[in-house]
Amino acid sequence: MQLKRSVWVPAAVGLLAVVSGGWLLQQGTQGNVYMRQRILQDVIRTVSDRYVEEIDPADLYDLAVEGLLERLGDPHSTVLKPEDYSDLRLQTTGDYGGLGIRIDEKDGWITVVQTLPNTPADRAGLRPGDRLVEVDGRSMRGWTSDHAATVLRGPKGSVVDLRIARVGVDRPIPVHIVRDDIHVQYVIGFMYEPGIGYIQQSQFSAKSANDILRRVQSLSHEGMRALILDLRDNPGGLLDEGVAVSDLFLKSGAEVVETRSRIADQNESYYAEQRPIDPGLPVIVLVNRYSASASEIVAGALQDHDRALVVGEPTFGKGSVQTLYPLPGGNYLKLTTARWYTPSGRSIHREATDRHILAMRGIAPVEITQVADTANAEVYYTDSGRTVFGGGGITPDLNVSSDTLTRVEREFRNSLGEQLAAYSDAVFRFAVEYVNDRPRLSADFEVTAAMLDQLYAWLKANDIEVDRELFDGTRRVIARELGIDLATVAFDEVTSLRRRLVLDRQLDTAVELLRESRTQEQLFSLAETRQAELRAAAREE
- Give the catalytic positions in this structure: 293, 304, 318
Amino acid found at 436: N
β-strands 268-271, 255-260 pairing: antiparallel
Q: State how far the alpha carbon of 303 is from the alpha carbons of 17, 54, 173, 369, in Å.
A: 56, 57, 54, 20
Closest CA to 347 of 310, 315, 385: 315
d(C-alpha 73, C-alpha 354), whole Å? 9
Q: Among the residues of 462-519, which ranges form H helices?
A: 468-473, 475-490, 493-500, 505-516
Amino acid found at 167: V
Cα within 13 Å of Cα(124), Cβ side = 26
Q: Is the Cβ–Cβ distance between 187 and 212 less than 8 Å?
A: yes
Q: Is the Cβ–Cβ distance between 315 and 392 less than 8 Å?
A: no
For residue 515, the tally of other CB atoms under 10 A from its CB is 12
What does the DSSP assignment read for 332-346? Answer: EEEEEEEEEE-TTS-
Q: State how far the alpha carbon of 340 is from the alpha carbons of 200, 256, 262, 294, 348, in Å.
A: 24, 10, 13, 10, 6
**Greatest Cα pair distance in the chain:** 95
β-strands 159-165, 131-135 pairing: antiparallel
Closest CA to 129 of 107, 150, 147: 107
